[in-house]
Structure 1
């Protein structure tokens, strides 16, 4: 009877990826926290820079545009850079690809979001009062008519570009960071990503009084990401949800509409 031969040591294997599944990335919550820190730091820096030498009075239109757009765009650009440096690029890591089915799904959830937002805003306004119901951006443009160029730039940002940047950060980078966690993989998976990203999205706007309303707004957008499994659906849903508020701000900035006193 011969004794069993000792087995040769097996070298460490590379992580196995399911066929058809996106390749694994090497960034996680640290990447999201870095992007959030970049968002807050750039907002603070821009605010201090634009306020130099200005004492009281209304904020110049140029400063409103820069202060609104720059921090979120800088944070989104940082997120994209992280996927390049520590991952496989934004298309793979953020599940960003063009599919008409995702566009259709995003439009459906965006329409649902408009209904939820309209009802939620009505109830919320009744609860907190019209004086407290104005968003931070709406408050900036009240009683401050803009040129047509500036107003259209603000409208396009709020309707199209802003949602893309925010989705890259929250339903892209944060979502991917949550799905990468071991407990999320084993127990809750993408449902944990949906719940946590929805809550963080609402809180991160730093408008405590509007957090409940922002949660209502965020749920249909997150559902579009959950159902499609990709980012385009939530981008389209977010853009559709933002259209009417952006249009109201456009008309207000042009002096064609005013909020009730």
Structure 2
């Protein structure tokens, strides 16, 4: 059986997926293992830094290890996901990762357009959420609150939040998990809703969960309309640029 997106041909780079519950189940296992690898690497790295006497919450500590704490687990998760996809993904093994994740320039442009359009939704939602929580911010923002990270660490944190974190998150949620649900034969809007909720809840920042759902909407729509994770990555990176810049400027005391 074939599962079609029902979207216009011009916006469908990978619109047809063979229903195969076995492949879907295996890809779900890949997603869970990658998530466990992310959590386990984060915990291990944090323990190693703690043994070395470093704590991200302690004022006066250097912040250069923070980008490593964010980047290394993300890269491990992506490598686990890529390896799992190559082993158990659908279709012929040669070129599996490229088929699943590669996109064309049009996908990047469409994703950026969804990211830009999504700001019309995300910015008012963020303002309302900030007022509701009395200016509460993200976990990374709280770590930098009132602390100057230094030029090198500050730029590294900015690039991580802007470029690297979106790649890891999209590969997992709108790459592996999305494809697993498609192989199960789930309706495209069910896939959209499940991956959106999973993305928001995975941050474990319960106060920010409603805002993260809003943030995920244009990103998921980019994935839905193009059929590629490349568009979702572009939308996510576009969305993360302003928060990453604000986090950087707040760390250097430019913004309150």
TM-score by length of 1: 0.82
Deviations 1:39-59 (A, max 9, x none): 111111111111115387334
The corresponding residue for 1:154 is 157
What secondary structure sits across from 1:28 in the alignment? helix
Instruction: After the TM superposition, list the runs of 4 or more consecutive aligned residues in structure 1 that deviate by more than 3 angstroms.
Output: 15-18, 20-26
* Structure 1: distance between partners of 2:187 and 2:53: 49
Other-structure match for 1:90: 97
- 5 Å-filtered alignment, 1:68-79, equals 68-79=70-81
Task: Tell me, in whole angstroms, the C-alpha distance in 2 between the residues paired with 1:80 and 1:123.
Answer: 38
1:203 is matched with which residue?
201
Contact 1:142 1:258 in 2 (8 A): no
C-alpha separation in 1, matches of 2:147 and 2:3: 54
Q: Which residue of 2 aligns with 1:191?
A: 189
| Count of residues in correspondence between the two structures | 234
For the residues of structure 1 that align with 2:181 and 2:165, how far apart are their CA atoms?
Answer: 23
1:233 corresponding residue in structure 2: 231
Highest RCO, 1 vs 2 (Cα 8 Å, sep ≥ 6): 2
* Aligned counterpart, 1:43: 42
Whole-angstrom CA distance in 1 between matches of 2:208 and 2:179: 26
Distance 1:108 1:55 in 2: 41
SS of equivalent to 1:61? coil
Counterparts in 2 of 1:167-178, with a 5 A limit? Answer: 167-178=170-181
Which residue does the alignment assign to 1:120?
Answer: 125
Identify if the C-alpha distance between structure 1 residues 17 and 142 changes in structure 2 by more than 3 Å, giving closer, same or farther. closer
* Change in CA separation of 1:55 and 1:237 when aligned onto 2, cut-off 3 Å: closer
> CA contact under 8 A between 2:30 and 2:81: conserved in structure 1?
yes
Assess if the C-alpha contact under 8 Å between 2:75 and 2:168 holds in 1: yes
The CA RMSD over aligned residues, in Å, is 2.4
1:99 aligns with 2:104: yes
Structure 2 gap ranges (5+): 5-14
Please list every run of 5 or more consecutive structure 1 residues that lacks an aligned counterpart in the other structure.
1-14
What CA distance in whole angstroms lies between the structure 2 residues aligned with 1:192 and 1:47?
A: 36
TM-score (norm 2): 0.83
In the superposition, relative to structure 1, how do residues 230 and 195 fare at CA in structure 2: closer, same or farther (>3 Å)? Answer: same
**Higher Rg of the two aligned structures:** 1
Q: In structure 1, the residue corresponding to 2:130 is in which secondary structure? A: helix
